[in-house]
Amino acid sequence: MKFKMIHENFNVTDLDQSLAFYEQALGLHEVRRKTAPDGAHVICFLANAEADFELELTWLRDHPQKYDLGEEEFHLAFRTDDFDAAHALHASMGCICFENPAMGIYFIQDPDGYWLEILPVR
């Protein structure tokens, strides 16, 4: 029996803001959307040409408050072919939340507080 990871879900409070962030910060774009007939929720799947893994963003109409992310001890990781350019972009966006120069990595934070690890090609 084999399993393949296909997507990760993040619940978001402002879908348009999150879509704009992921497009600018990581080059992810919406590939499909599911909207509840009554408008209770919208689910957007984001991807890029680098992998077939998708990020699912879920907006819930009846959950306007920020999500409790606990101690933020989870994250998604992204490898970039141009670490210095990525770091400069994220610094200009003001979304770098933690850097570990000794490990050669840093983290950015999305509008809802989710952490995303940025790694160079090794």
| CATH at 18 | 3.10.180.10
pLDDT digits (tens, 9 = 90+) for 1-39: 787 889 999 999 999 999 999 999 999 999 999 999 999
* Overall number of domains in the chain: 1
Residue 68 covered by a domain: no
- Show the tokens assigned to 25: 């910060």
Residue 66 covered by a domain: no
The pLDDT > 70 percentage for the chain reads 99
Which among 114, 108, 115 has a CA at the least distance from the CA of 13? Answer: 114
At 1 the pLDDT is 79
Residue 82 lies in domain: 7-61+74-120
With cut-offs at 50, 70 and 90, classify the pLDDT of residue 74: confident
At 114 the pLDDT is 94
Residue 67 covered by a domain: no
At 2 the pLDDT is 83
Residue 1 covered by a domain: no
Secondary structure of residue 38 in the 3-state scheme: coil
At 4 the pLDDT is 86
At 64 the pLDDT is 84
- Show the tokens assigned to 76: 């998604």
Tell me the pTM: 0.91
Residue 69 covered by a domain: no
Residue 104 covered by a domain: yes
- Show the tokens assigned to 71: 């101690």
Residue 71 reports pLDDT greater than 80: no
Average pLDDT, whole number, for the chain? 94
